[in-house]
Amino acid sequence: MYRFNLGFILLVFVFMLSPITSFAEKGLAADPMDCLGCHGDKISAASFGASPHGKNGCTSCHLEGTNLLQHMTRSVKLEKVDCSRCHKKEFTEHAGSVHMEKGVSCTSCHSSIHTITSWKKDKKMVIQKCIECHQKEKGFITSVHGKAALAGNKDAADCSDCHGLHQIKKVQGPGTNEGRMFHTSVCIKCHADEKMMERNHVNHTAVETYLESYHGKGYRLGFPERAAGCTDCHTSHNILSKEDAASSVNSNNLVNTCADCHKKATALFTKYYSHGSHSDRENYPILYYTFIAMTGLLVGTFAVFWVHTLLWMFRGFVENREKQTALMEGRVHHIPDGNKLYYRFQKRHIFLHLSVIISFLGLSLTGLPLKFSDQLWAKTFMSFYGGVHYAGLIHRGCAILTFYYFLGALFMSIDFLFLRKDIKGNFLQRMFGPDSLMPNFRDIFDVIGMVKWFLFKGEKPTFERWTYWEKFDFIAVFWGMFAIGGSGLMLWFPEFFGMFLPGWALNIATIIHSDEALLATGFIFTVHFFNTHGRPEKFPMDFVIFNGQMSKEEFIEERGDQWKRLEELGVTEQFAVEKPSGVLYDFFFKGFGFAAVFTGLSLVFFMLYAFLS
């Protein structure tokens, strides 16, 4: 009280003796020392002057204190300081933060407001301030991030690097989309900086390999709710080196860590390469050579068949031109009853092929967006399905349909080889006979004949019931079921296979499933579509697979050797069509066929765009 009275008397005395000072005449504070006359016991003039606020003076914040006489007589009450007057950006961020919701004000963190010093991005200061309230997260101090930050490493993450300084959002629960996105995106922000990771001796491919995994693709597509994020394995705050016995990713703790999601995880299951890279031959040789083998298969297959397709396309256009010229000159050989229809396929063949189309399109539409998860079109597809989870359900449903038609083809093969009474010969004669889909020596001569025709070196071959490219498609079903089906089952039931296979087998299955699926879709939507629908003599569509019927003229031109054989056996009329398919049937299935072709070609466009972008 004495100090206050003395200060008040001195100030009044100064005002009375200083008539030439305009501030004094008005009773205003001209200098922080005017305030410190009373408040000097709580505020150090030196510390305040050295702080960023000292340059502004007391009344820059305490506006009501500019009139000292009113302030001294308490006729004006000082209001709570409004920091937003100067710190608009920070205040705006803070206003939408979880701190504001919890009643944490500016001075809750900046408590020594009069002696505050510039933080100069001091990570130690941030950590120490946050720990004052967040006692539960003290484990962060002993984490690899906390230790490095407190040791002065400016690359190390402090609290603000993940949560921000002022715009601190509420971290949603681990079961929410927002929460899972947050727990991965904040890690990727730093770990995607390869130079930063290299200079700190941290795995610089961690982000790349994570995004290539199933979990990472779910995150990248915006649906991480059923995919592990970074913190699911490494935890949020107490992140330790895998050599540390207390680390969640230490080899002794991996079973428990994996079991959080994979309830039946085993020690073998944990051998999975979480950040294994197929481009790292030194550390992951088995992944490297698997990838090289699959890439070789892809390149080799496409190189051979795309050249075959291009040669056929050109030669087919020339053949059509020759036919047109012959028609105009009247040199066309007319086949008696050329428009009469004959059966090529029975109903069970048509139904099986429809199953193939539906399952294959379903698998492609749901699988390709996952493979090309970095593409905008992939995210659009996944949003349409309702997310990765629902796309996965559709994918697995189509996989079941695939197993159905595979078993159907297997049963029909057994029936053909052992059970049917209308086919003569023993097992080997049936296996390699003209009605069999098994490749034989004739196919070699057919290939040679087609190549000669492509190069204008010979006549176009006439074929038996099955061409060499049709046999290749059929055999591919069996190879595909082994490669795509087997690897797909492993990825569908990882815990079951993890009971007796090492976890890195799942890494191999991922490479095989992904690349074999790419091979299958690329082959079907380019080579197979051309062989059946796109070749000039059939464009725009060969409808025989939908109604099983073809004209006599078509039969003789495409499968002349089969027609001759049937004539010699005297059974051609057994294949004659009594009643052609109806208009509605044709309309529906032609529409379905064109929709399937359009869908496939659209996916080819998207794949090419993904490779070129």
- For residue range 72-97, list pLDDT tens digits in order: 777 777 778 888 888 888 888 888 88
Q: What is the mean pLDDT of the chain?
A: 89
Q: According to the model, what pLDDT value does residue 64 have?
A: 75
What domains lie within the chain, and their CATH numbers?
2-79 (no CATH), 123-232 (no CATH), 335-612 (1.20.950.20)
In whole angstroms, how far apart are CA 399 and each of 68, 370, 411, 488, 508?
A: 83, 16, 18, 9, 19
Q: According to the model, what pLDDT value does residue 57 have?
A: 76
Band of pLDDT at residue 116, cut at 50, 70 and 90: confident
Band of pLDDT at residue 598, cut at 50, 70 and 90: very high
Residue of 121 and 83 predicted with greater confidence:
83
State the Cα–Cα distance between residues 564 and 271, nearest whole angstrom.
61
Q: According to the model, what pLDDT value does residue 11 have?
A: 47
State the Cα–Cα distance between residues 454 and 313, nearest whole angstrom.
9
Band of pLDDT at residue 215, cut at 50, 70 and 90: very high
- For residue range 424-468, list pLDDT tens digits in order: 889 999 999 999 999 999 999 999 999 999 999 999 999 999 999
Q: According to the model, what pLDDT value does residue 175 have?
A: 67
pLDDT at 25 over 60: no
Indicate the range of 114-128, 398-412, 519-533 predicted with least confidence.
114-128
State the Cα–Cα distance between residues 138 and 159, nearest whole angstrom.
11
Q: Tell me which DSSP letter residue 430 carries.
A: H
Q: According to the model, what pLDDT value does residue 23 have?
A: 41
Q: According to the model, what pLDDT value does residue 17 have?
A: 45
- For residue range 153-211, list pLDDT tens digits in order: 999 999 999 998 888 888 877 667 788 888 899 999 999 999 999 999 999 999 999 99
- For residue range 92-106, list pLDDT tens digits in order: 888 888 888 888 888
Q: According to the model, what pLDDT value does residue 30 have?
A: 53
Band of pLDDT at residue 523, cut at 50, 70 and 90: very high
Q: According to the model, what pLDDT value does residue 31 have?
A: 67
Q: What is the mean pLDDT of residues 234-262?
A: 94
State the Cα–Cα distance between residues 193 and 548, nearest whole angstrom.
59
Backbone angles phi, psi at 586, to 5 degrees: -60, -45
Strands (E), 156-219: none
Indicate the range of 228-242, 257-271, 284-298, 318-332 predicted with least confidence.
318-332
Q: According to the model, what pLDDT value does residue 29 have?
A: 52
Band of pLDDT at residue 137, cut at 50, 70 and 90: confident
Query: What pTM, to 2 d.p., does this model score?
Result: 0.86
Instruction: Provide DSSP, 109-121.
Output: HS--TTS----TT
State the Cα–Cα distance between residues 18 and 52, nearest whole angstrom.
31
Is there a contact between 200 and 153 (Cβ–Cβ < 8 Å)? Answer: yes
Q: According to the model, what pLDDT value does residue 70 have?
A: 75
Band of pLDDT at residue 20, cut at 50, 70 and 90: very low
